[in-house]
Amino acid sequence: MNPMAMMRRLVRPLESRKVRVAVATVLAAYAAEYGLAWSEELVLTVVSVGIALILGIAHEDAGKAGKLS
């Protein structure tokens, strides 16, 4: 497999909104753990909003799939 094909394969999941939100949520949690002076409540809020966004996007995607049938 050539390097460009491997790179496309690694980057392709980032086209998904759910994956981008998950990555941003995990990065925020790790940044708070290893450097940012965030309170525990703020980290919990960021993670909760990330989870809510992922569930909302999944619900939206399920609605689109239901309309096509």
Dist CA 6 CA 51 (whole Å): 29
Of the candidates 30, 31, 25, the residue with the CA atom closest to the CA atom of residue 47? 25
Could you read off the pLDDT of 18-54 as tens digits, one per residue? 999 999 889 888 888 888 888 889 888 989 999 999 9
Q: What is the mean pLDDT of residues 44-67?
A: 88
pTM attached to this predicted model: 0.72
Return the exposure string of 43-66: e unless at least 16 CB atoms fall within 10 Å of the residue's CB, then b: beebeeebeebbeeeeeeeeeeee
Q: Distance between CA 68 and CA 25 in Å, rounded? A: 31
- According to DSSP, residue 35 is labeled T
**pLDDT class for 68, splitting at 50, 70, 90?**
low
The confidence band for 55, taking pLDDT boundaries of 50, 70 and 90, is very high
